[in-house]
């Protein structure tokens, strides 16, 4: 490949990685807001009806045209 094509591919990969990171951050923020609203308590916040935490967690994956995004 020519240096120009190598550079263009590197830039494309960098942009795709940044887009994935941005989408991941937005998804995590939206999920956290929905969880707070549903539970009527913030992250790790204890209330009279919420005295503990769930016994575990799992990641959620979103497949996009630019790759897989893992969300907590």
Sequence-distant (6+) residues with CB within 8 A of 71 are: 24, 27, 28, 31, 59, 60, 61, 62
Residue 67 located in a structural domain = yes
Q: What stretches of the chain show up as alpha helix (H) in DSSP?
A: 3-39
Sequence-distant (6+) residues with CB within 8 A of 23 are: 62, 64, 69
Number of domains in the chain: 1
Residue 32 located in a structural domain = yes
Residue 8 located in a structural domain = no
CA–CA separation, 34 vs 29, rounded Å? 9
pTM: 0.59
Residue 29 located in a structural domain = yes
| Residue-number span of the structural domain to which 63 is assigned | 14-43+58-72
Residue 36 located in a structural domain = yes
Residue 53 located in a structural domain = no
Tens-binned pLDDT, residue by residue, of the chain (72 aa)? 788 899 999 999 999 999 999 999 999 999 999 988 988 888 778 788 776 656 556 677 888 888 888 876
């Amino acid at each position: 490949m020519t240096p120009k094509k190598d550079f263009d591919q590197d830039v494309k990969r960098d942009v795709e990685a940044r887009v994935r990171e941005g989408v991941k951050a937005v998804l995590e923020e939206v999920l956290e807001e929905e969880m707070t609203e549903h539970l009527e308590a913030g992250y790790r916040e204890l209330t009279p009806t919420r005295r503990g935490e769930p016994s575990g967690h799992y990641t959620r994956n979103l497949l996009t045209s630019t790759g897989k995004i893992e969300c907590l």
